[in-house]
Amino acid sequence: MTRTQKKVRVLFEALQNSPKQLFPGEGGRLNVSHAPGVYVIYDPRGHVVHVGATPHGKRGLAQRLRNHLHGASSFVEQHLNGKGSRLRRGYSFRCLAVRNGKLRAYLEAYAIGSLCPAHIGLGASRTRLS
């Protein structure tokens, strides 16, 4: 195993062990880092529905998760019928700040492969593999 692969595994464990936070209710605010990073979104039953990263944006994780809340993502468009406010009803997330762009991309790919989310951001809805 290469040094990079080991780093990605350590980052994945850190992501999995980060605190799970509920999306805020109506009028509530997200308390998330403005750093770039990787995040995992869970449905109200605790199933992974989306893994994403912040390749762009000046406000990193906070901006991307707010985008989801406001319906500005393919995930919300396809998984929640464009209604980002549905995230406020029991959906939760974990996130990890990762400033290194290459490690962030590797971590996102590793998390997608490991967690098999319902939606992977390819512009089409995906179903969970059995």
Q: Count how many domains the chain has.
A: 1
* 9-65 per-position pLDDT tens digit: 999 999 999 999 999 998 888 999 999 999 999 999 999 999 999 987 689 999 999
CATH number at residue 110: 3.40.1440.10
Cα 60 to Cα 5, 81, 93, 122, 130: the distances in Å are 24, 24, 15, 20, 33
Residue 130 domain flag: no
Residue 121 domain flag: no
Contact 94, 13 (CB under 8 A): no
Q: How confident is the model at residue 81 (pLDDT cuts 50, 70, 90)?
A: very high
Residue 29 domain flag: yes
Residue 30 domain flag: yes
Residue 67 domain flag: yes
Handedness of CA 72, 110, 113, 86 (dihedral sign): negative
Residue 128 domain flag: no
Domain that holds residue 36: 3-115
